[in-house]
A and B are shown apart, each in its own frame.
Chain A
Amino acid sequence: MQARITGALAAAITAGLAGLWAGSASAQGEMNWPTLVYRTGAYAPNGIPFANGQADYVALVNERDGGINGVKLAYEECETGYATDRGVECYERLKGKLGGAVAFSPLSTGITFALTEKVPGDKIPLLTAGYGRSESADGRVFTWNFPLLGTYWSAADILIQHVTKVSGGADKMKGKKITLVYHDSPYGKEPIPVLQDHAAKLGYKFEAIPVTHPGVEQKAAWLQIRQGRPDFVFLWGWGVMNSTAIKEAVAVNYPRNKMYGVWWAAAEPDVMPTGDDAKGYNGLALHPSGTAFQVHTEVFKHLYDRGKGTSKREEVGHVLYNRGLIDAMLKVEAIRTAMKQYGNKPMTGEQVRWGLENLNLTAERIKEIGFDGLVTPIKVSCLDHEGSRKARVHQWDGKHWNFVSDWIEADTKYLRPKVEAAAAAYSAEKKIAPRSCS
């Protein structure tokens, strides 16, 4: 017995050392689907449902369809703990397996920034649906980045459009006060330039209050809000920072219905810990929550009824779970698009990039894959790597999220020149020549 344990331990250590040296061996007919997750640490409450959604959709495609056009997906997780250096290590560990990764979606702005420097060399696309660098929407400079569904600049623009409407028009915004409570990292800082631009245009007073990582200490920020009594508070938080912010808002008696979270600060883990006190809290939604969609029926039928689901059954349909499903679906559809061009075999990162850039999800296609009602049509192009930039506002009623607005589209006329200017500054700094899209 002892000898066997020692033997197993020795074998494992040798395997681990070999792994440190070279990464792992490969198999045939499978595609490497790497997933950077965080199931531990201060951001785990939000990281877990997203990771589960991804895992379930990949499992569904493998179980129901036997992979994509016969090519199975080899799903592998690597824990980053939301730390940039561990994220980079995970990326290096997973990128080369099985002949190369199809795409990465790190779900962390910090890791996205670090990987943005690495993916052009490795020729692997970086899918950052709903996050990442805002200027990476310009596909001429950021060939390998795909901030599909909307960037933070789009989010800030949509939020301002919504509160302008709620206030009763652009002329009513003059003299109003908007405070942004943000995670003190590139993620939280992204919306600031857009909110400042609008402040100059609409005449509201804008203030930004940083909250340091991980965001459990925000007493000072909320005392400032109690004194200032802003008309609206925008919350750009993640992980425990969101639930803490709502708790603090309760403590200083700031009305929750004047708070608006970005789409990463508007999910169940943010409001559930506060219970009924979170009632009335608003947030952006890239897609509905709940399980009333075709894809959920299939997930239940093929996975949960057979005990193969990753999540708890009652958490299927949560906001971030659904976003995980959508994130995985976008990659699967990009691979399908690429296969139409290159044939039904394992795709390389370069081919998946082509698929992402030529991704055209029409209403019919969305219906076919069971996402009808969950996503709106997306069309990506070489110039525009964002694809679509629409969101709705939803409100927490203590049990569910309910929509309180229709789809709002970000103002491209205003944002596009800003994106292009920032992308041009990046390309000048890095001395890379933008490619031509014509």
Chain B
Amino acid sequence: MAGSSGNAIDPIHQFHINNFIDLDIAGIDFSFTNASLFMVLTVAVASLFLILSTNRRGLVPGRMQLMAEMSYEFVASTLRSAAGNDAMRFFPLVFSLFMFVFVANLLGMVPYFFTITSQIIVTFALAMLVIGTVTVYGFFKHGAGFLKLFVPSGVPGYVVPLVTTIEVISFLSRPVSLSVRLFANMLAGHITLKVFAGFVVMLTGAGAVGIGAAIMPLALTIAITALEFLVAFLQAYVFTVLTCMYLADALHPSH
């Protein structure tokens, strides 16, 4: 994230996608890029951590195994409290989403690493996966009864059209809000970090006074780095919680 290219301090540079291995199928570019590399890395880090830490299958967990178990129980209790026990069939999906987003966010905190969750297409695809699951499962389980989601019970007849319109719009805006929230948080955080870190570099280049003045942006950079670690977790958590709530709609459409 803090990698500056040459002399120019360009906060947008870190989001550029570079092809590593060109791959062209039917005129469409499917190249293996730095984004692809970090997707692979995210999956590898998360999987290796979870598999190696639980390899011992200790009755009394070690530190690593405890972390794996805690992440399991954390996501499980989030899902159970938001959508009930019958939502546990979606547990693998929710857990995968949480771990993928969380590890991707954390990897993005490593200098020079690419942040895949700062790409709107990635977050949007994940959000569409959630909404698609909700919609398909909702209609599969309840048939037309799933449409009751848009008609809240106990609403007087004359406001039903208005409420239904609002419900439909809110349902359609879910993938947008879900994906933009994660994308914008990661993007903005990394740009801010880069800008303040850039100030430090620029000021230290301006002589003794500049080095003294650079303390301020340096302190801010440190503070924002800490904040970004919090955001990395928080956004993964928010994404997970919202996923759970949407899944609750698929399971129990009449609210």
- Bound pair: A and B? no
Q: Which residues of B contact A (CB under 8 A)?
A: none
